[in-house]
Structure 1
Amino acid sequence: MTVGTTRTGRAVGRAAVTAAVLALAGAALLFVLKPLSIQLPAGGRDESWIAVLGEAAARSARWGVDITFTYGPASELVTRYFTEGYLLRAVPVLCGLALVHTFALALLARGAVKGLRHGAWLVPLALAADAAALATQLALDIDAFVYALVLALLLLDLARAPKDRAAAATVLSGAALLGAIAVAKTSFGVAALGVFILADVRAVLARRRVPALLPACLAGALACFLGHGQSLVDLPAYLDLQGQQASGYGEAMYLASDGVELGAFLLGAAALVAVSGLGGSPGRGGRVAAALGTAFLSLVGLKAGFVRADTHTQIAWSLLGQGGLIVAVGLVLPRSRLGAAALGTGALAVLWVAGPLFLLAATGRDASLAHLPDVYTGMRGQLAAELDAVGRFARSPSAFAARARSDKAAAWAAAAAARPMPPLSGTVDMLPSEQSAVLANGLDYRPRPSFQEYPTYTAGLIAANAAFYAGPNAPDWVIFGMGELDDRYPAAMEGALWPELLRRYEPRTRVGPWVALRRRADPLADPLSPPVAVETVLGRPAALPFTGPVFARMTVRPTPLGRVAAVLFRPPALTLRVTLANGDRQDYRFVPAMAAGGFLLSPLLTDADGFADLALGHAEDTGGADVTAVAVEGAPWARFFYQPSVSVELRRVTVPAAAPSAASAPLVEDLARALPWRRLVRAIGRAGQLDGDRLTALPPTALTIPVAGARRLRLKFGISDAAWTDGATKGVCFAVAASPGAVPIWRRCLDPAAVVADRGQQSEDVDLPPGLAAVTAETSCREDCAWGWSYWGGIVPEN
C-alpha cells in the first residue's frame, strides 16, 4: 500500500511537472514572444523603421553598407514584421527561445529541490510562478525576457553537474539562440556576450569545462547573419556601425528620469546582486560569477530602461522582476524555502504592481492602486488575438500566410491613402522619419545608411550618410522635412547633409508638409565660405561675427570620466542656447557629435519651406529668426564629464539666386504667396514656433501684430486634428484686440470635438478700426488647456 501510494504520488508529481512545463512554454509564446501576432505596415516614426528594416531584409540589403540601425537584419525576430520568409525564419527561432526558457527554469528548479522533502512539488510551483511573471509582459517588448533568459542560462551553467547532459544541451542551445536574436537587436548581443564570456572564464578557472558558451553564441549569430542574406565581407562594416549606434545612444537619446523611480530601481537591483552573491553556487568563483552576471545584466537593464526614461523604464522593472524570480528559484530555494518564497513574492509584486504603477505615472495617468487595473484592460483582447492567430495557423499554415499577405496589401493601401505622394521618377530618399509613406506609394526607395534622422548621432553614422550623398548612389529625389525629437535644434538633425543638398539638389514640388528636391544635372559651387574659428568655453556665449545664413560646427570633447559615463549609462545633458536678433533666448538639446558634424545655425529654420527658400537663393525670405550668439550650457557637474573648451567653426552660406526650372515654378509661386505671413512671423520673433505654415499658439498666448496703415486682417486659424481625434480638447478661443486685455475687435471659439464645422483650418476677414499701430492676436482656453493644440495659419494685414 505504501509503495503504491508512493508510485501514485510520483506519477502525479511527474504529471504536474509536465503540465507546468507545457504551461510555461505556452506562456512564453503567448505572453511574450507572440510569433503569430504579425506586424503590418503603418504610418509613423516607429512604424516606418519597422517597415524599412523588414523590407530591406527581405530584399537582402547589406547591413553596414546599405543600411544600419539599432536593429539588425534579423529585426523580424523582435518586430514580427511580416514578409514572405517570416514564418520559416522567425517562428522556429522564437519557439526555440520559449523552449529554452522553459527547460532552463525547470532544470534550475529540479536542481534546487534535489534532496528536499516534498521538493518535487516545488518544481511546478516555481514554473507556475514564472508563468505568472510572463503574463505581465503581454503588452511589453521582449527585451527583459531576453536579458532574464541570459541570467537563467548563467545560473544553470554555474549550478549544473559536469555530466548533466540535459542542462548542458539547454545552455548551449540557449547560447546559440541568443546569438541569433542578437542579430535582431544590438543590446541583446551585448548582454549575451558579456555574460557568456564571464561564464566561460569562470569555467576555465574552475577547470570544469572548455569555453563553449561564447563560441556557441557566436556560431548562432553568424548562422543567423548569413541566413538573413548577409555576407561575411560586410561583417566588419556591420559591427562598426552597430557599435556606433550603441555607443551614441546614451548621450543622444536620453529622457530625464524621475529620481524616485530611478532610486527605487537601483536599490532593487543592488539587493538582487547582493542576494546573487550570497546565494551563488559554491566552489571556485561561483558566487562571484553569479553576482557579476546579475550586476552586468542590471546595468544593461538600467541603460535600456532609464536612458530614455519614458515607458522604456518598464524594461528595467520587468528585468528586475523576472530576474528576481530566477534568482529565487536557482540560488535561494536550495538554501531556504521561506527566503525563496519571499523573494519570489517580491519579484511578482514588482511585475504586477510596482512596474505598472510607474507606467501609469510615465503615461500621465493616476499612479494609484485604484487605477492599476487600467494597465491590464487591453490584455484580454491581445491574448484573444494571439490565440486566434495560433488557431488559424494550426488549422492551415498556408491559409494563415495568404491572409497575412492580403492584410499587408490592405495596410499598404491604407498608408498610401493617408499620405499620398506624386509618382516621382527615379530613386528616392526621405529625411523625415516617415518612410512608410514612400514604400506605400510604390516609389523606388533607396535610403542613406542611417535612414532616420534622429538616430544619426555619432561621427561614424554622420560620415556614412555624407559619403552616400557624395557618391554615385545618391538618390534622384530627396523628400525634405525638418525633424522634431526631444527639443533638439531643428536644423541639427541631418544638418551635416545640408551643404551637399544645397549644392546638388533643387526644390521642385510640395509633398504634403515636405518639399521634394530633385538632383541637379550640374551641381552648384560649394555654398560654404572658408571657416572662421571662434573659441569659447561652456556657459559663455560666442557672438556670431557676421549676419546672414551661417553654418556651424561646434566641438565639445568628453573627459575620460565622460567616456566611461557614456558607456555605462549617459553623461549629463548639455544645452544649446541661441540668442535671437530680437533678444529672445531659446534652449535646445545639444548632441555633441551632431553639432560637430555641422548644421545651419542661423537663421533658425523650422520647416521645409525655409530650406526651399534658402536653396533657391532667397536667404532673406526663409522666415527664420536670425541668431546673433550661441552658447553650450551645462549643470555645474558637467565640467567633470566634458572639457571646458568649446571650438566653434563658422561659415557663411551663399546660394546664388537663379531662375528656377519650369518644374519648380509652381513651388516658387506658392512660397512667394506665403512670404508676407512668414516675414510677419519672423518680425514678431516667433519663427521658432513655425510648423510648416502654422504658427503654434498653445493657449494662452498673445502676439503683438504691427498693422499700421492696414484696414483689415486676413486670418487663418484652427486646432490640430489630433487634439480631438487622439485627445480630448475642450476647445480654444481666438481673438483680436487693440491691446492685451482690451475688449476684442473679433472673437471666435472652436470646439472641434463637438462641432463638425470647427474642424480643420478656419478663415476670417476682420475689419480694423482706423489709427491702430498694432493689435494683439490671442488664444485662450474655453474650459481647460489640456489638448489645446491651437495655431495661427496666417495673420496678414491688408490695406
Structure 2
Amino acid sequence: MQATERESHESAVATESASATKDASDEGVRSEKAAPIRLRLESRSRELVARLPGTAALLWFGLTALIAGVPSTLIPSPGFDPSWQAGIGFAVSDNLRFGQDIVFNYGPWGFLDWPQHVSRTQAALGFLFGMAAVLALYWVVYLCVRPRWSGGVAGVIAFAVTVASAPAGPGGRLVYAGLLLTLLTLHDRFTRRIDTWRDAVPVVLLTAVGTLLLQVKFSEGVVLLALAGLVAVSVASVRQLIRGVGRALATFVVTFLVLWVGAGQRITDIVPWVRGSQEISSGYQEALAIEQGEFAFGYLTAGFLALVVGFLALRLAVRHKTVATAGIVVVSAVMLAFGFKHGFTRHDPAHEVSFFLAAGFLIVGFTTWVGRPAVALAAAAAAFLMAPSSLANYDPFLARNQWRTGIELLINNDYRLTSVEAGRARARDTYQLPESIVSELRGRPVHVDPMELTLPWAYSLDWHPVPVFQTFSAYTPYLDQLNAEALIEAPADQVVLQEATLGIDNRNIRWDTPRYLLALACNYRVGARAERWTVLHHSLNRCSAPETTVSQPVTAGTPVLVPQVGTGEMLVARYRPEPSSMLASLVHLGLKDWSPIEVGADDRTFRLPEALTDGPLLVSLPAELAWQAPFDAFQYRQLTFNRAGTVEFQVIKVQ
C-alpha cells in the first residue's frame, strides 16, 4: 500500500515536472520569435527619439519662423515684375477665368506665392502659405541632418539653409522640402525594405502639395509631382508599384478638382489653362535665353556642384544597386535640370540662385547616406553661399519691422485702407496719366499694353486684359493668336491704353507678339494722346488679307532689301530659318539655346524668339494706322538674318 502511494506521488511529481518543462520550452520559443520584433521596435524607437526635436531645435525653429516667415507688406506698385505679381491677385479678385480670360504660368492660387494687399484674404492666405513652407522646409532639413549631428547643431543647419532659401519664395521652399522628403523616403525604404502603411504617406503628401503648387506656379508643381511619381515607382515589387501609382493618381485628381473648384474656376477651363501654362513654360526657355552680367563664375560653380551631386548619386547607385539608390540618381537628374532651366535660361545673378539652391538641398539630403557627412555639408555650404544677395535675409531687426507692418496691415482695417490708398497715390504719381485720358478710359473695359497691370487698380478702372496680360510673354504662335483673337472679339467699347516703351532683352517691340500687334493696328483706332500714353478704341477691321509680293532664300549675314510699298499699304515679313542640327536641338532642349535668332533691321540688331519668326513681322506701317513712336509711320530699308532660311514679304492694304 505504501509502495503504491509512493509510486503515485512520484508519478504526479514527474507529470508536474514534465508540464513545467514544456511550459518553459514554449515560453522560450515564444521569446525567440518575439526577439526580432522587439529588436526592430527598439531600433525604430531609438531612431524616432534621435529625430525628435529638443529644446535647442525648437528655439532655432522659432528664430527661423521669426526671420523667414514674415507676413507680406507688399502693396501693388508700378514696374515690370511688381505688375505681374499684383496682376495674379487682380485676376482672382475680379473673378477672371484662368484658361480663358487669363493664361499664365501661375494659376488661380498663384497669389499665394506673391501675396499682396490686393485683398485682406489674399494677404492672410499668403502669410499662412509662406509660414507652412518655412515650417515644412525647416523640419525636413532637421530630420535629414539630425541622425548625424546633435539636436542643437541640426537646428543651426536647418535655420541657416531655410533662411538662405528666401529667394525661392514659398513655392520654391515647398519644392525643396519635397526633394528632401523624397530622399528621406528612399533612404527609409533602403534600410527597411518592407512595405508598410508608412509608404503611402510620402506619396500622398508629395502629390497633394505638388497639385497645389501646380495651381500656384505651373513649373514648380510639375517638378514636385515628378518627385511624387518617382517615389511611387521606386519600389521593389509590382504590387507596391500598383499601390503607389494608384494612390498618387487618386490624390492628384481629387486634390486638383477640389482646389480648382474652390478657387471659383470652371472645369471646362482646365484643359486650356494647362495648354497655355505649358506654352508659356516651354516658350520661356527659348525666348528668354540670354546672358546678362558677369556669368562665367556662375557656370564654373554650377559645374563643380553638378559634379559633386553626380559623384555622390552614382556612387550610391553603384555601391548598393537597389531600386532606392537608382531613384536617387533620377531625383538628382530631375532637380539639377529643374535648377538649370530656372537659373541659367535667363542667366543673371538673381536667377542662377535656383540652381545653387537645388544643388545645395540635394547635397543636404545626401548627408543621410554618405559616410562623411561633414564633407558633404561643406559642399552644400558652397552652394548656399551663392544664394543670398546679402546678410539682410538673416537680420532679425529687419524681420521685426516687417512683422510689425505686416500684422498691422492684416488686423487694422483703417491702417490697411490708408496704406492701400497711399499705394494708389504713389502709383498715380509714377504714371502721370492726364485727366483727359482717364476720363476717356472710365466706364470702358481697359487693357494696358504692354505691361503696367497696376495702372487700372491705381485709377479704379475696369480691367479687361488680353489672356497673356503682359504681352511680351506670349512667346509662341498659340499664345500670340490667343491675344490677337481676344483683341478682335473684345466688346465694342474695349479700349487699349498703350505706353510708348522699348522692348525687353534687346527684342524689337514692333515684333513682340506679331499677330497681336497686327490685330491692334487693323482693329483699333487712335483716341486721346498725351506724352507717352495713347488710347486705342475698338473699331472695324481696316486691313485686307495679306498678298505675297516676294519670297526669297537668305544667307546668314547677307542683307535683304525690303520691297517698297505705296501709300495706304502695310508690309509684313515671314522668316523661316533652316532647322538647327540634331545635336544643337538636343543641347537647346536639354540645357539652353546659346545661339538665338538675331535679325538686323537697318542699323540695329534684335533678338527674335524662333517660335515667332513666321510673324507676320511689321516692316512697314503706314500713317493711316500709326499712332505714336515706336508705332509711328516707318519702313525698314533692309533686314539681315544670322541664320540661313527663307523670307517672304506680304502687302496688306489699308481700307
Deviation string for 1:3-61 (max 9, x for gaps)?
xxxxxxx9xx8898233553565466445454x12421101111111122111012221
* Distance of aligned partners of 1:305 and 1:40 in 2 relative to their CA distance in 1, 3 Å threshold: same
Deviation at 1:151, TM superposition (A): 1.4
Distance 1:506 1:391 in 2: 47
Q: Give the residue type in structure 2 aligned to 1:245.
A: I
| 1:17 alignment partner AA | P
| Amino acid across the alignment from 1:326 | G
Q: Is the 8 A contact 1:245 1:455 kept in 2?
A: yes
Deviations along 1:579-607, one digit per CA (max 9) or x if unpaired, are 53xxxx3211121223323221247xxxx
Structure-2 separation of matches of 1:538 and 1:632: 6
Q: CA deviation at 1:163?
A: 6.8
Contact in 2 for aligned 1:304/1:312 (Cα 8 Å): yes
What residue number does 2:354 align with? 315
Change (3 A) 1:350 1:450: same
Residue 712 (structure 1) aligns with: none
Structure 2 equivalent of residue 432 of structure 1? 450
Query: 2:58 aligns to what SS in structure 1?
Result: helix
Give the TM-score, by structure 1 length: 0.67
Query: Would you say 1:577 and 2:599 are equivalent positions?
Result: yes
Equivalents in 2 of 1:164, 1:24: separation in Å? 33
Distance in structure 1 (CA, Å) of the matches to 2:524 and 2:266: 33
Residue matched to 2:551: 533
Q: 8 Å contact 2:133–2:171 — kept in the other structure?
A: no
Secondary structure of 1:37's aligned partner: coil
Range with greater deviation from structure 2 (585-594 or 83-92): 83-92
Paired residues of 2:67 and 2:396 also in contact (CA < 8 A): no
What is residue 302 of structure 1 aligned with on the other side?
Answer: 340
Match of 2:182 among 151, 154, 163: 154
* Distance in structure 2 (CA, Å) of the matches to 1:85 and 1:455: 28
Q: 1:615 maps to which residue?
A: 625
Q: Deviations over 1:414-451 (max 9, x none)?
A: 21233243121411112121121122111211000011
Tell me the secondary structure at the aligned position of residue 54 of structure 2.
helix
Helix, strand or coil at the partner of 1:290: helix
SS at match of 1:203: coil
Superposed displacement of residue 398, structure 1 = 3.7
Aligned residue in 2 for 1:274: 311
Contact 2:543-2:652 within 8 A present in 1 as well: no
2:180–2:365 CA contact under 8 A, matched in 1: yes
| Cα 1:46/1:577, change in 2 over 3 Å | same
Helix, strand or coil at the partner of 1:490: coil
CA distance 1:293–1:387, change in 2 (3 Å): same
Q: Structure 1 residues 203 and 597 mapped into 2: Cα distance closer, same or farther (>3 Å)?
A: farther
Say if 1:265 and 1:317, in contact at 8 Å, map to a contact too. yes
- The answer to whether the 8 Å contact 1:555/1:596 transfers is yes
SS at match of 1:314: helix
Aligned partner of 1:544 in structure 2 is 562
SS of the aligned residue for 2:446 comes to strand
Is contact 1:542–1:631 with CA below 8 Å preserved after alignment?
Answer: yes
Per-residue deviation, residues 316-346 of structure 1 (Å, max 9, x unmatched): 1222223322222x322xxx2xx10121123
Q: Which has the higher strand share?
A: 1
Q: 1:134 to 1:188 in 2, by over 3 A?
A: same
Residues in 2 aligned to 1:473 and 1:488: alpha-carbon distance in whole angstroms: 30
Give the TM-score taking structure 2 as reference length.
Answer: 0.80
Write the distance in 2 (CA, Å) between the matches of 1:304 and 1:101: 20
Counting only pairs closer than 5 Å after superposition, residues 338-349 of structure 1 correspond to structure 2 as 339-349=372-382
Sort the Cα spacing of 1:194 and 1:616 in 2 relative to 1 into closer, same or farther, 3 A: closer
Q: Which residue of 2 aligns with 1:126?
A: 154
Superposed, 1:184-263 pairs within 5 Å as: 184-203=216-235, 205=237, 208=240, 210-211=243-244, 212-213=247-248, 215-217=250-252, 219-256=254-291, 258-263=295-300
Partner of 1:449: 467
Note if contact 1:502-1:655 (Cα within 8 Å) is conserved in structure 2. no
Match of 1:183 in 2: 215
The alpha carbon displacement at 1:247 in A equals 0.7
What letter matches 1:556 in structure 2? P
SS at match of 1:17: coil
Structure 1 residues 378 and 208 mapped into 2: Cα distance closer, same or farther (>3 Å)?
A: closer
Distance 1:436 1:533 in 2: 43
The equivalent of 1:555 in structure 2 is 576
**Any conservation in 2 of the 1:66–1:448 contact (CA below 8 Å)?**
yes
Conserved in 2, the CA contact under 8 Å of 1:491 and 1:600?
yes
**8 A Cα contact 2:527 2:534, kept in partner:** yes
3-state secondary structure, aligned to 2:576: strand
After superposition, the C-alpha distances for 1:324-372 in whole angstroms (9 at most, x for unaligned) are 22222x322xxx2xx10121123123323x445xx6xxxxxxxxxxxxx
CA distance in 1, matches of 2:111, 2:546: 42
* Offset at residue 557 of structure 1 (A): 5.7
Cα 1:588–1:618 change in 2 (3 A) is closer
Q: Aligned equivalents of 2:77 and 2:592: distance in 1? A: 32
Q: What secondary structure does 2:642 align onto?
A: strand
Deviation, 1:307, is 0.6
1:488 Cα offset (Å): 0.7
Closer/same/farther in 2, CA of residues 557 and 238 from structure 1, 3 Å limit:
farther
Q: Which amino acid aligns with 1:412?
A: R
Aligned to 2:521: 502
Q: Which residues in structure 2 correspond to 1:628-707 (within 5 Å)? A: 628-633=637-642, 644=644, 646-655=645-654
- Tell me, yes or no, if structure 1 residue 491 matches structure 2 residue 510: yes
Alpha-carbon distance between aligned partners in 1 of 2:480 and 2:231, rounded to the nearest angstrom: 37
Q: Greater helix percent: which structure?
A: 2
Q: Percent of aligned positions with the same letter in both sequences?
A: 20
Contact 2:100 2:269 in 1 (8 A): yes
1:54 alignment partner, SS class: helix
Does 505-514 or 241-250 show the bigger shift? 505-514
Tell whether the 8 Å contact from 2:67 to 2:394 is kept in structure 1 after alignment: no
C-alpha displacement of 1:237:
0.4
Any conservation in 1 of the 2:67–2:163 contact (CA below 8 Å)? yes
Shift in Å, 1:381 = 5.2
Contiguous gaps of at least 5 residues in structure 2: 1-45
Q: Specify which of 302, 305, 328 is matched with residue 290 of structure 1.
A: 328
- The separation in 1 between residues aligned to 2:359 and 2:624, in whole angstroms, is 52
Q: How many angstroms apart in 1 are the aligned matches of 2:143 and 2:79?
A: 43
Q: Does 1:135 align with 2:155?
A: no
Q: Deviations over 1:720-741 (max 9, x none)?
A: xxxxxxxxxxxxxxxxxxxxxx
Whole-Å separation in 2 of the counterparts to 1:355 and 1:90: 23
The 5 Å alignment of 1:410-421 reads: 410-421=422-433
2:471 corresponds to 1:458: no
Residue 22 (structure 1) aligned to one of 51, 55, 58: 58
Partners of 1:563 and 1:60 in 2: how far apart?
A: 41
CA contact (8 A) 1:197 1:214 kept: no
Contact in 1 for aligned 2:99/2:276 (Cα 8 Å): yes
Alignment deviations for residues 97-151 of structure 1 (CA, whole Å, 9 cap, x no partner): 33333443344446xx3xxxxx6x5344223212111222346644653332231
Match of 1:96 among 129, 132, 157: 132
Relative contact order, CA 8 A, sep 6+: which one is greater?
A: 2
Which of 102, 112, 120 is the equivalent residue of 1:77?
A: 112
User: Alignment partner for residue 627 of structure 1, among 633, 636, 640?
Assistant: 636
Q: Is the 8 A contact 2:480 2:514 kept in 1?
A: no
Q: Distance in 1 between matches of 2:280 and 2:139?
A: 34
What is the rounded CA distance, in whole Å, between the counterparts of 2:211 and 2:60 in structure 1? 22
Rounded Cα–Cα distance in structure 2 between residues aligned with 1:530 and 1:15: 72
Write the deviation string for residues 687-721 of structure 1: whole angstroms up to 9, x where unpaired.
xxxxxxxxxxxxxxxxxxxxxxxxxxxxxxxxxxx
Distance 1:490 1:226 in 2: 38
Unmatched 5+ residue regions in structure 1? 1-9, 114-118, 360-373, 604-610, 635-643, 657-799
Residues 750-793 of structure 1 deviation map (CA, whole Å, 9 limit, x = unaligned):
xxxxxxxxxxxxxxxxxxxxxxxxxxxxxxxxxxxxxxxxxxxx
Deviations 1:651-685 (A, max 9, x none): 235446xxxxxxxxxxxxxxxxxxxxxxxxxxxxx
Inter-partner Cα distance in structure 1 for 2:513 and 2:344: 26
Task: Give the RMSD, CA atoms, in angstroms.
Answer: 3.4
Q: CA deviation at 1:614?
A: 4.8
